[in-house]
Amino acid sequence: MYVFNRRRVAALLLAAVCLTGQTGAVRAEETQVKTVSETENNMRPKEAQEENGEKERARKLTEDNSENEQSAALQEKSAAELVKLLPAGSLLPMERISDEESRACFTAAVIEPQGAVYERIYEKSYKENGNTQLSELRYLKLPHYNYEGRLQVGEMIVHEEIADTVLQIFYELYQEQYQICSMYLVDDFWTGDNESTDTASLEANNTACFNDRSIVGSGSVSRHALGKAIDLNPLENPYVKERDGVRTILPEEGEAYLDRESGAEHLITHQDAAYRIFSAYGFEWGGDWSSLKDYQHFEFNQS
């Protein structure tokens, strides 16, 4: 009995030694693997950083090349081509346009159903069953001087009856380097309805024409809905109406420009080029109205 136990104990001790040795070997191997793995992991961020750096340099080089190619391509185009090609708000890459080329920069185009302009205005400023048919509208592109005196691309939709006249008016304003803050379609300020969209456009000091809406505070059709009224630099030339002791100013920030004798820049007065030129072509100025003042507003009432 004693011998059996002694042998059993010896066998157990031998097994324990073998197991310990194997475990130690395994642990040593794990430690070695772990050390290698940690080394690799420590190296990977650096390698990844270098690789990402190379990718970023390649991306920037590609972008720079693309921009250079685009810039070179734009420089090869005429001013008229650039005005037609570039979106509204784009700055033109020249300080002035030659007299021989400038008039060609003022263009009018039919608005094609399902076309790019149509998609922008459909069921927004333009209603399919609204006050003006699509075939009666014209899309204008033209250059103008912005408030920094830079040449900028503008756009506008007007009724076909006054399209050529409006182009001539803005051409003459351009010749006098008359500054216009911006000129986008009101649809770029779409809020969900035509009235508040008009307000958003005014607040952005945006010069615009067509918008199928009613007269402010009335159910009557606005001349804007017919494409026969233009709001010019509305921030400095607000709409002002007083009724029952309540004054309405649009845009509200235009209150700072109620003093029309202040000499502030961009005020439309009887001495202003805009008043002189628009009036010469039969437009009526809202600043001459007695029931209210709409200093930004020029409308054509001869048709």
pLDDT digits (tens, 9 = 90+) for 251-294: 999 999 999 999 999 999 999 999 999 999 999 999 999 999 99
Q: How confident is the model at residue 65 (pLDDT cuts 50, 70, 90)?
A: low
Whether the pLDDT of residue 161 is over 60: the answer is yes
**Which residue(s) pair with 297 in the sheet?**
231
Q: Is 254 exposed, middle or buried (0-12, 13-18, 19+ CB in 10 A)?
A: buried
Q: pLDDT tens-digit profile of 182-194?
A: 999 999 999 999 9
Q: Do β-strands 107-110 and 137-145 pair in parallel, antiparallel, or remain unpaired? A: antiparallel
Q: How confident is the model at residue 129 (pLDDT cuts 50, 70, 90)?
A: confident
Please tell me the predicted confidence (pLDDT) of residue 302: 84
Report CA torsion sign: 113, 119, 123, 125: negative
Q: pLDDT tens-digit profile of 46-60?
A: 665 666 766 677 676
Please tell me the predicted confidence (pLDDT) of residue 303: 67
Q: pLDDT tens-digit profile of 197-256?
A: 999 999 999 999 999 998 987 778 999 999 999 999 999 999 999 989 899 999 999 999
Query: Who's near 16: CB < 8 A, 6+ residues apart?
Result: none
pTM as predicted: 0.77
Element (H, E) at 93: none
Query: Who's near 203: CB < 8 A, 6+ residues apart?
Result: 235, 251, 252, 253
* pLDDT > 70 in the chain, percent: 77
Please give the biggest Cα pair distance in the chain.
Answer: 132
